[in-house]
Amino acid sequence: PRAKAPKACNLTEFVGTAIGNTIGMVIANVDPLLHAQMKLDKKYRSIGIVGARTGAGPHIFAADEAVKATNSEVVLIELPRDTEGGAGHGSLIIFGAADVSDARRAVEVMLGELDRTMGDVYGSPAGHLEFQYTARASYALNKAFGAPIGQAFGITVGAPAAIGVVLADTAAKAATIDACGFSSPANGTSFSNEVIFTFSGDSGAVRQAIHAARDVGKQLLGAMDPTPLVSTTTPYI
Amino acid sequence: PRAKAPKACNLTEFVGTAIGNTIGMVIANVDPLLHAQMKLDKKYRSIGIVGARTGAGPHIFAADEAVKATNSEVVLIELPRDTEGGAGHGSLIIFGAADVSDARRAVEVMLGELDRTMGDVYGSPAGHLEFQYTARASYALNKAFGAPIGQAFGITVGAPAAIGVVLADTAAKAATIDACGFSSPANGTSFSNEVIFTFSGDSGAVRQAIHAARDVGKQLLGAMDPTPLVSTTTPYI
Amino acid sequence: PRAKAPKACNLTEFVGTAIGNTIGMVIANVDPLLHAQMKLDKKYRSIGIVGARTGAGPHIFAADEAVKATNSEVVLIELPRDTEGGAGHGSLIIFGAADVSDARRAVEVMLGELDRTMGDVYGSPAGHLEFQYTARASYALNKAFGAPIGQAFGITVGAPAAIGVVLADTAAKAATIDACGFSSPANGTSFSNEVIFTFSGDSGAVRQAIHAARDVGKQLLGAMDPTPLVSTTTPYI
């Protein structure tokens, strides 16, 4: 679902909302009690907080752009089993910064990227497909997926998980890539019904692997349910 | 959803139903095979069993009243990832007792408390908020959250989890309280899309912290979706 | 939901679809990159892959028939927390084979069994019940549940989990059976809202235990919601 027009919210903590039932907020001075409970590094006086009911990959790739563009760091990435009854994850991502304006900027950049990173998510009542690509992975992708910093990096996601296995095989055969990881319902996901394959390599190879997997994924998920598989926003890869 | 009028169920095990797709039952003499599989203490011949599709906090706080009021103990609290497609937990709570009348009474008291403990649960299509308070925590709250026995104790819950982070900060700043715990999707929940903050302290301070968080939570969740945030039953805090 | 008529899918990987948003596929030659990531035994050049949004017990019992009937082995069984917003599991099951025709045959046999193994699944908006029985357990049931190979084996499942506790007690009291296991939301499930009780023994005793639990389960789940509890397909036990 597209983000609704944000209602007026006058709290200083509120930054904005975005697609996927996503909300972005900041805390200028984290209370010492909470600072301790969250085990935050002392150097972060401020945090930016983005959470979503639907979306993990789109949010992590968007967060990666935010850390590239701002003076902040990603201090926490957690993936609830959510998607509002679907097969996948929601997300909770926290940026740490010494200054609230940096935390706020990170949240703003991330919210602004989400329409793009939702572009290669394709859903139907039977499941969903997701593809993400970056020409240069940064710290959020490194933290979440072990992506090599500075390299081209991509992921293929299929739900139900069985489809994700075939997407991984298709990607691996389509181009010369290096595998980073393979996550399945009981290993590396939050019991989500997904297989996530992650890989780096030459920029052209990573994109080629994704294109091949996307083509196969649409045919397989399309065989399960007649709902047309259209981009959630606009394809970007 | 409110509890439907219970259909006639003549099984001796059946006790009743309640809000949240909750059911309460008793087993007078637990079969030795099951007794062993469940690793129950030998002193419990009877068990009371309450389970729900929707609700964990309301059920644990209700169970706490049940152990205060009856000659039973809480032997198991487990929180499935459920809420029927929502962001939170269901529950499975088991009382042990030497006598079936005690187990049954514990289930009855717990079912009877649920309309009250659902009073500060506020849901919308975007997520939910939950607040709970007791003037005197007992063994169920101690088992589930590490609440100090006999002290005033409260919790704030926000879903998506991002909102729960701001609720925790708001509560911590609003009054002098002692933090008990901070649970997030990957730490302390069952991968639910919630942040749960738990705290004890002076009775007035605990309530003040909850009031402040409740006010902020309604504004944040309200900014995500226009659905009015009304109490599931009647606010009690 | 019944399987829809499969759309034309011309990929060589595609085998078919079945009830429960289930899809079956094969990979004739698993790519070495994926082979390593999945930690597959070198002797399996080919894999058969079956995944579902809804169904774990039905899929594992169907997979058991597939390994009995074909020259393949079950190499992976994982149970996402899914059922499309319900209380239970989906599934990801992978067969290994030296030859793609064996992998394909295993997938075909499994897909063909699912209408039968969905026969004792009974759902309502409040939850679901599931019962499974085999006269002779094989390697899939051994891998998933520790079932003794070659013996009669059954399971009772209740959701919300509280009902599953009473089903287990009922089954244990109804006949002389040997308990294999007891899974609950936080122990042995993927945080699903189910209690699963598994047992072996004399064929007649296993069936008798299931019949007793099925009768009790329908009354308890029926007390929660007025929706008639009918078989998803046709009862087989």
pLDDT tens-digit series, residues B126-177: 999 999 999 999 999 999 999 999 999 999 999 999 999 999 999 999 999 9
The residues pairing with C234 across neighbouring beta strands, listed in sequence order, are none
Which candidate from C181, C197, C223 shows the least CB-CB separation from B9? C223
Interface test with B, best of C178, C191, C199, C215 (most B CBs within 10 A): C191
Instruction: Give the C window 143-162 contacts with B, CB below 8 Å.
Output: 160-162
Which candidate from C27, C33, C53 shows the least CB-CB separation from A166? C27
pLDDT digits 0-9 by tens, C83-113: 999 999 999 999 999 999 999 999 999 999 9
Class of residue B178 by CB neighbours under 10 A (exposed 0-12, middle 13-18, buried 19+): middle
Contact call for B216 and A13, based on CB within 8 A:
yes
Contact call for C224 and B52, based on CB within 8 A:
no
Strand A22-27 versus strand A14-18 pairing type:
antiparallel
Using a CB–CB cutoff of 8 Å, tell me whether B80 touches chain C.
yes
A191 to chain C, closest Cα gap in Å: 5
Confidence of residue B119 (pLDDT cuts 50, 70, 90): very high
Identify the chains in contact with C, defined as 3+ C-beta pairs within 8 A: A, B
CA A196 – CA A210 distance, rounded (Å): 12
> What's the mean pLDDT when you consider all of chain B?
94
Mean pLDDT of B95-102: 95
Contact call for B184 and A13, based on CB within 8 A:
no
Mean pLDDT of B63-88: 95
> What's the mean pLDDT when you consider all of chain A?
94
Which candidate from A85, A192, A223 shows the least CB-CB separation from C6? A223
pLDDT for C7 equals 63
Mean pLDDT of C201-226: 96
pLDDT digits 0-9 by tens, A20-50: 999 999 999 999 999 999 999 999 999 999 9
**Gyration radius from chain B CA atoms:** 17
Mean pLDDT of B178-198: 95
Interface test with B, best of A13, A44, A82 (most B CBs within 10 A): A82
Confidence of residue C6 (pLDDT cuts 50, 70, 90): low
Interface test with C, best of B49, B95, B193 (most C CBs within 10 A): B49
pLDDT for A2 equals 46
Confidence of residue A8 (pLDDT cuts 50, 70, 90): confident
Set of chain C residues whose Cβ sits within 8 Å of the Cβ of A209? none
Contact call for A9 and B223, based on CB within 8 A:
yes
Tell me whether the omega of the peptide bond preceding residue B228 falls within 30 degrees of 0, making it cis. Answer: no
CA B236 – CA A154 distance, rounded (Å): 50
Q: What is the ipTM of this complex?
A: 0.93
pLDDT for A183 equals 96
Which candidate from A126, A169, A191 shows the least CB-CB separation from C31? A169
Which candidate from B169, B193, B222 shows the least CB-CB separation from A80? B193
Confidence of residue B8 (pLDDT cuts 50, 70, 90): confident
pLDDT digits 0-9 by tens, A77-123: 999 999 999 999 999 999 999 999 999 999 999 999 999 999 999 99
Give yes or no for residue B3 having a pLDDT over 60.
Answer: no
Give yes or no for residue B1 having a pLDDT over 50.
Answer: no
Set of chain B residues whose Cβ sits within 8 Å of the Cβ of C89? none
- DSSP letter string over chain B? -PPPPPPP---TTEEEEETTTEEEEEESS--HHHHHHTT--TT-SEEEEEEESS-SHHHHHHHHHHHHHSS-EEEEEE--B-STTSSSB-EEEEEEESSHHHHHHHHHHHHHHHHHHTTTEEEETTEEEEEEEESS--HHHHHHH-PPTTSEEEEEEEESHHHHHHHHHHHHHHS--EEEEEEBTTBBSSS-S-EEEEEEE-HHHHHHHHHHHHHHHHHHHHHH--S---BSS----
Interface test with B, best of C166, C214, C219, C227 (most B CBs within 10 A): C166
pLDDT digits 0-9 by tens, A190-225: 999 999 999 999 999 999 999 999 999 999 999 999
- DSSP letter string over C164-198? HHHHHHHHHHHS--EEEEEEBTTBBSSS-S-EEEE
Which candidate from B17, B30, B38 shows the least CB-CB separation from C224? B17
Q: Any residues with CB less than 8 A from the CB of A5 and at least 6 apart, and which?
A: none
Which element (helix H / strand E) includes A96? strand A91-97
Using a CB–CB cutoff of 8 Å, tell me whether A79 touches chain B.
yes
pLDDT for A109 equals 95
Give yes or no for residue C2 having a pLDDT over 50.
Answer: no
Q: Is the Cβ–Cβ distance between C164 and C158 less than 8 Å?
A: yes
Confidence of residue C1 (pLDDT cuts 50, 70, 90): very low
pLDDT for C181 equals 95
pLDDT for A6 equals 54
Q: What is the number of residues in chain C? A: 237
Give yes or no for residue B2 having a pLDDT over 90.
Answer: no
Pairs across A and C, CB distance < 8 A? 138
- Residue C145's nearest CA partner among C44, C29, C64 is C64
Q: Which residue has the tokens 């042990």?
A: B96
Phi and psi at A121, nearest 5°, equal -110, 130
pLDDT for A7 equals 63
CA A190 – CA A80 distance, rounded (Å): 7
Phi and psi at A172, nearest 5°, equal -65, -30
Give yes or no for residue A1 having a pLDDT over 50.
Answer: no
Using a CB–CB cutoff of 8 Å, tell me whether B188 touches chain A.
no
The residues pairing with B93 across neighbouring beta strands, listed in sequence order, are B50, B77
**Gyration radius from chain C CA atoms:** 18
Using a CB–CB cutoff of 8 Å, tell me whether B42 touches chain C.
no
